A and B are shown apart, each in its own frame.
Chain A
Amino acid sequence: MRLMIALLALILSAPAFGQSALPPAPWADRQIPDPAQEKEARDLMLTIRCLTCQSQSIADSNASMAGDMRSQIRERIMAGEEPEHIRRWLIERYGDWVSYEPTGDPILWPLWAAPAVLLALGALLLRGRLKRRTR
């Protein structure tokens, strides 16, 4: 099922391919020589959403736009920029949607509270059952 969607993404990104007859971005599929920097870049890429695909990060997308963004990230990391700074820059450009890593936005607080709430609810239920069952 995922494949259908990936393909759709490919089809839909085809016009973008057509428009940019430019050569692929230099660092789209080229690793930074320094492994530590490459790891930083890769960890960041894994949390940035590909804007022309369906539910894929730019770290694993064939879309040309994802390639451009990978290249940008690698160049900025090599220039010594902090990953979080690059993320903020990307969010400014493309909106919160671009980051899979949830931001500190209050609208996301319930999302982070969800596990605690669900676990507490479950524990409460369980405690009630066990209590009733002890003589």
Chain B
Amino acid sequence: MIAEFGLAALWLAAALALLQLGLAIGGLKGGRPELQAAIRPVAVVQGALTAMAFIALITLFMRSDMSVLLVATNSHSMKPWLYKFAGTWGNHEGSMLLWVTVMGVAGAAVALFERALRRDTHMATLGAQAAISLGFYAFLLFSSNPFARIDPPAPDGQGLNPLLQDPGLAFHPPTLYFGYVGLSVAFSFAVGALLTRQVDAAFARAMRPWVLGAWVLLTLGITAGSYWAYYELGWGGWWFWDPVENASLMPWLAATALLHSATVLATRDALRAWTVMLAVVAFSMSMVGTFLVRSGILTSVHAFAVDPERGSFILALLGIYIGGALALFGWRVGTVREGAPFELVSRETMLVINNLLLSVILGLVLIGTLYPLMTEAFGHKVSVGPPYFDRIAGPIALALMIAMAVGPMIRWRRDNASAVARRSMAPALVGLSVLAVVAVTSWGRIGILPFLGLVIALTVAVASIAPLWGRKPLRTPLFTWGMVIAHLGCAVSLGGMAADSAFTVEKLVAARPGETIETAGWRLRFDKILPVAGDNWTALQADMRVSRGGGAPVAIHPQSRFFTSPPTTTTEAALLTRWDGQLYVVLGQEADAGRWQMRIWWKPFVTCIWLGGTMIALGGLLALIGRERRGWTLKWRARRATAA
């Protein structure tokens, strides 16, 4: 019954989305107040129904209901409960249901909480949100039904991919999806504003918190995914320029640009058309990414439950929504008034440079990801990978970091070039001394990009705190704190990346129990190897004691795990975190009689990568609270006044 209930809720939600679209069209045409009054509750109920369908699917997975095809093919009754729960979205159908759930819930949130937007634009926004949802409902119901039954029920499930059986699965996909799909709200806002011709500062102020919220979650999701890949794959890499990763990076780049251009629009009423365009692009990138990942078009050798029909379905949706939005943009852009003018030396110019560089990086990632596809059409298979992206996007990203450091030191509207120079004197001096120190200590030993990365990271770290100088910490607005922390996070993250690629020490050994391995100032004593067992796996575990500089030894236990359903081996790296880096130990195969292969890395400051990512998200959250709090306080005061 639960599966049928879920399916019914999904159909009902789709019907309500259709109704929501109809109400929006009717309301925009005739301006009839009863239609306007109805659209909010419809959007809320639609969101609630998608959430119920999703909860139904979670319940089926938790109960291991093997009469449901999706559960039988992706779960197993012996799995720990966390992976039964999180396994709900560890497959194509479940993740697409999560997608429509996020769209529905985001639409409901816009209906419930968005009060700043003009009424007709709000209605058009909800209509646009319903229109996008409809396509994905159709996709889910016609080609990826998660609730399909099988008769007779399977005796037990085929199990979940063991690499996914990690707490990361409970956290990474939902946060990523909330960010990824949450950008649909920005898309709908843009479409709504184009329809009602309301592209102005008030529109940007209304849209900004939604973009910020999605962006914070997207940042967290990407950060979590990177750390997960880092510790689970067992080779110490944290970013691979894989099409799937690029698919999450591209919306993030667009959303980052959008955040900054929306600030220009909200503060100075400039960059109108550009901001609307970015709002369209951001969610378009989410959809393009989904297409690339789900269609299997980029994975010609290995397919992830790929079905050409699904690929063409998503491609059609892409064409309709992106094409439709761009056509609307082209049709209405003429009526978007030119924004306020601005001077060369101004905060606005710096934010435009930010947008320009982010867009160029976005364009390059998109081209690089699609390029092998295009050459393959000419019968020529090539690979575009890390060497290209690092070399091409790296320098532009470094330039962007410098712009990020200088931008906040320049005033809005108009500034004096010599005053700016005076203000950036201190960070520049710091930068020069850092340059000298790094050059003296490691010139010639590290690559040019890691070298520049280190220098720029340290300089930008100092410069990013500059907006706080001479201010009282408690009187500084929360959103300024948010900006400072996010920018500092970028510097911290860059520093971690540069330190990792410049100073990582790698050691591959084949060792016998009883031996001691020495690398990068660490002593690793390999005591013994022993079998251990978990809920649904058995493992070989190496017991080791590691110490550094005569300190007390710490026990670590790298494992090699064997799963039976499906039969797979995974490595569980042992990670030892210290303030100045991470020791990363992987147990490999038995090399020859009694000797075991081990991969050992000492990665200085590698954790800064994810610490920085978390700081970026935290900064976004503070900015969101800071901007919204004013509205809440005003509302609360007004309510108290009426109550009194």
A interface residues (Cβ-Cβ under 8 A, vs B): 1-12, 14, 24, 29-31, 42, 46-47, 49, 54-57, 59-62, 95-103, 105, 107-108, 111, 114-115, 118-119, 122-123, 125-126, 129-130, 132-134
Contacts and interface: CB of A to CB of B under 8 A. Distances in A.
Given A54-B301, A55-B241, 6 more contacts: A2-B225, A6-B229, A7-B568, A10-B569, A96-B382, A108-B375
Nearest to B355: A122
B386 A46 contact: yes
Contacts of A61: 235
B510 interface: yes
Contacts of B508: 29-31
Interface residues on B, range: 35 or more
B188 interface: no
A4 B163 contact: yes
Contacts of B202: none
B506 A1 contact: no
Contacts of A115: 360, 364, 392, 396
Nearest to A133: B341
Nearest to A59: B235
A62 B589 CA distance: 10
A104 B599 CA distance: 35
B494 to A, nearest CB: 20
Given A4-B304, A100-B386, A107 B380 contact: yes
B157 interface: no
Contacts of A55: 240-244, 385
Contacts of A133: 341-343
B234 interface: yes
B364 A96 contact: no
A100 B388 contact: yes
A8 B241 CA distance: 18
Contacts of A11: 566, 568
Contacts of A14: 567
Given A7-B161, A57-B386, A114 B367 contact: yes
A2 B242 contact: yes
A29 to B, nearest CB: 5
A1 B380 CA distance: 27
Nearest to B381: A97
B104 interface: no
B229 A3 contact: yes
Contacts of A108: 375, 382
Contacts of B363: 114, 118
B368 interface: yes
Contacts of B173: 1
B245 interface: yes
Most chain A CB neighbours (cut-off 10 Å) among B162, B388, B571: B388
B356 A100 contact: no
A119 B597 CA distance: 47
Interface string B587-602: 0110100000101000
B385 A100 contact: yes
Most chain A CB neighbours (cut-off 10 Å) among B164, B176, B387, B392: B387
B162 A111 contact: no
A7 B162 contact: yes
A54 B386 CA distance: 14
A8 B302 contact: yes
20 contacts: A1-B173, A1-B248, A2-B240, A3-B229, A24-B589, A29-B597, A29-B599, A30-B510, A31-B507, A54-B299, A56-B242, A57-B386, A98-B383, A100-B387, A107-B375, A114-B364, A119-B396, A122-B360, A126-B356, A132-B341
Nearest to A122: B356
B368 A54 contact: no
B232 A102 contact: no
Contacts of B353: 126
Contact of A54 (B229, B302, B378, B589): B302
A5 B304 contact: yes
A129 B270 CA distance: 11
A3 to B, nearest CB: 4
A12 B588 CA distance: 20
